[in-house]
Structure 1
Amino acid sequence: MSTAETDDQLAQRLAAAAGAILLDLRARGDLEGKALGQAGDEAANAMLCREIRAARPGDALLSEEEKDNVARCARSRVWIVDPLDGTREYGEGRSDWAVHVALAIDGVAAVGAVALPGLGVTLTSASPPPLAPPNHPPKMLVSRTRPAAEALFVAERLGAELVAMGSAGAKAMAVVRGEADIYLHTGGQYEWDNCAPAAVAAAAGLHVSRADGSPLRYNNADTYLPDLLICRKELAETVLRRAREFGR
């Protein structure tokens, strides 16, 4: 591997390569459902971890599929990866799943690549697409299987159209791509679920924060992140205000 490869280039290449592995595995047709999802997770994770460790031996690594070592918290640079975000959707033959490769520097999502292999695209923080015009009425993304009550409350107050979709990465990139305007998640995630999407969304000029407006921080000893908001900046204040009203 060339030592001239930048962090952005590495993230993009590996996210795309993991996506290709997952597509090839699914195309074989000898696995399906949960078995396919597990095999895909394992294959993509093995490649990602091997390549990151070879290319950046001095950096720490946090992966959904690897045993965590909290010694990483002492490092400035940590790669945060989700080899297969949306295992259910992948196993069902859908396109709304993703591969996340991110680099957090001093707790900030600095570099990110999100591959959407089912759509044939990889979005990166280095070259995000220009923002599309807003949708009218605004479109708000929710989980296919368990839409959060807070999101439903906010959508009703905004008069937003609900769009059900699978993985966190797919939903976040739908906002980046202009297919939707708001992604509010309050059902709990982990750092690998949104580090790469947050980096890409922020680079694209979107609002990215916790559901209370506070910044997202990564490389914590506890990797659980309760909530997330990615939306168009002109909607952020209203969404945050409505979210605060929930449960009053």
Structure 2
Amino acid sequence: MTDAELAAHLAQVAGRILLQVRDSDMFEGKSLGYAGDQTANQFLIHALRQQRPNDGLLSEESKDTEERLTKERVWIIDPVDGTREYGESRPDWAVHVALAINGESQIGAVALPDLGQVLRSDRPGLVPRAPETLRMVVSRTRPAKEAVAVAEQLGAVLVPMGSAGAKAMAIIRGDADIYLHSGGQYEWDSCAPAAVAMAHGLHCSRLDGTPLRYNQTDPYLPDLLVCRQADRLKVLDALEG
């Protein structure tokens, strides 16, 4: 099984597990989110340790160690991206499984279990053309002020959505056009979505246009821009303005 096949398989299976946890009716709200996080994390951690024992590993739900910093290949996972949405039985949550090689997000899979989809870096498709009025996905609860300002300059409409993975995949799916985030994230929030988005030909960067770097000593990676290549300069120019 190739790395890309493994990422997609693990994301899909973890998504199925999460649906089963939710459908068990044993948990609700925050307790459902916690149960889902822990259950999916244990599956992903054990599977990766078995399938790729020599690689490093970084997970939102496991204690970080310095061991990964000695590795060229590091799996970066988020068992439930959008825990709040998952706990509320909304569809806009995701499972992230990615492989960073020498600091670059090269392989990734993002499962959208409620939509029955796994978007992956090794099977890119055509991204739908942009509509006349651009759509920008933002946080449901705290839209970044930079995103709101750029949307106003570009005449874009705001589309509230949960998970970072769901937001990035919305562009690939044709449901949105720009994802601009500045409210604070970590490597596991963007590594898999960035790998999948870039494989589909989208632009992914920090808000200053610099590349996203992974497997850093501090996994805090607070900002992210995902958009079509055709919209890259206008968004970056609007950010500077």
Which category describes the TM-score, using the shorter chain as reference length?
over 0.9
SS in 1 for 2:115: coil
Aligned-partner Cα distance in 2 for 1:163–1:98: 17
Q: Which amino acid aligns with 2:30?
A: K
Aligned-partner Cα distance in 2 for 1:129–1:189: 27
Q: How does 1:172-211 map to 2 (within 5 A)?
A: 172-211=168-207
TM-score normalised over the length of structure 1: 0.96
Aligned-partner Cα distance in 1 for 2:132–2:116: 27
2:110 matched to which residue of 1?
114
Q: Which amino acid aligns with 1:241?
A: D
Residue 84 of structure 2 corresponds to residue 95 of structure 1: no
Instruction: Give the C-alpha shift of residue 28 in structure 1.
Output: 1.1
Q: Which amino acid aligns with 1:151?
A: A
Aligned-partner Cα distance in 2 for 1:58–1:40: 27
TM-score normalised over the length of structure 2: 0.99
Instruction: Give the C-alpha shift of residue 226 in structure 1.
Output: 1.7
Q: Which amino acid aligns with 2:146?
A: E
Instruction: Give the C-alpha shift of residue 101 in structure 1.
Output: 0.1
SS in 1 for 2:167: helix
Aligned-partner Cα distance in 1 for 2:173–2:27: 31
Structure 2, unaligned runs of 5 or more:
none
Q: How does 1:1-248 map to 2 (within 5 A)?
A: 5-245=1-241
Instruction: Give 4+ residue runs of structure 1 displaced > 3 Å after superposition.
Output: none
Aligned-partner Cα distance in 2 for 1:73–1:25: 33
Q: Which amino acid aligns with 1:98?
A: A
RMSD: 0.6
Aligned-partner Cα distance in 1 for 2:191–2:200: 14
Instruction: Give the C-alpha shift of residue 186 in structure 1.
Output: 0.5
- Verify the 8 A CA contact 1:129 1:177 in the aligned structure 2: no
Indicate the percent of aligned positions where both proteins have the same amino acid: 61
Aligned-partner Cα distance in 2 for 1:71–1:49: 15
> What does the per-residue CA deviation read over 1:106-156, in whole Å, with 9 as the maximum and x for residues that have no partner?
000010000000111000000022111112201111000000000000000
Instruction: Give the C-alpha shift of residue 71 in structure 1.
Output: 2.2
Aligned-partner Cα distance in 1 for 2:90–2:132: 27
Q: Which amino acid aligns with 1:17?
A: V
The size of the alignment, in residue pairs, is 241
Q: Which amino acid aligns with 1:84?
A: V
Aligned-partner Cα distance in 1 for 2:43–2:222: 29
SS in 2 for 1:118: helix
Instruction: Give the C-alpha shift of residue 187 in structure 1.
Output: 0.5
- Verify the 8 A CA contact 1:135 1:180 in the aligned structure 2: no
SS in 1 for 2:110: strand
Aligned-partner Cα distance in 1 for 2:144–2:125: 28
Instruction: Give the C-alpha shift of residue 244 in structure 1.
Output: 1.5
Structure 1, unaligned runs of 5 or more:
none
- Verify the 8 A CA contact 1:139 1:182 in the aligned structure 2: yes
Aligned-partner Cα distance in 1 for 2:24–2:90: 16
Which has the higher mean CA deviation after the structures are superposed, 125-134 or 101-110?
Answer: 125-134
